[in-house]
Amino acid sequence: MSTKLPPNRFFTFKDGSPEGDSDEIRLAIFNRPGIAEGEVIDDDNSYAVLLDTESNGVVSIKIDESRFRFTPQQAIALASALTDLSRNDG
């Protein structure tokens, strides 16, 4: 089974256990800069981003094959810096 997801958007997937625990992951496929959003997504023009929270509160970000782990405070600082950079016109 294959599922086609629109690019550049995060989707949340939940995986529930019989004990009532629920894990959530967020997945997005991003087009590489300079690639039009309507193009067919493949390994050459896009990359996957997976966001997850570990049981100890550590935020895990996996971009293609690279994984980064942040404390909640570090994740907030990173999000703030990315937001500031995205507002920068120059």
pTM: 0.69
Count of domains forming the chain = 1
How high is the pLDDT of residue 1? 42
Q: Per the domain annotation, does 2 fall within a domain?
A: no
Return mean pLDDT, the chain: 82
Model confidence pLDDT, tens digit, residues 28-65: 888 888 877 776 777 778 888 999 988 888 999 999 88
What are the φ/ψ torsions at residue 43 (nearest 5 degrees)? -65, -25
Calpha distance 65→72 (Å, rounded): 22
- Would the pLDDT of 86 be above 60? yes
Tokens of 24: 């959530």
CA separation for the pair 18, 6 (Å, rounded)? 31
Are the beta carbons of 60 and 66 closer than 8 angstroms? no
Q: Does residue 5 sit within a domain?
A: no
Query: 31 lies in which domain range?
Result: 11-87
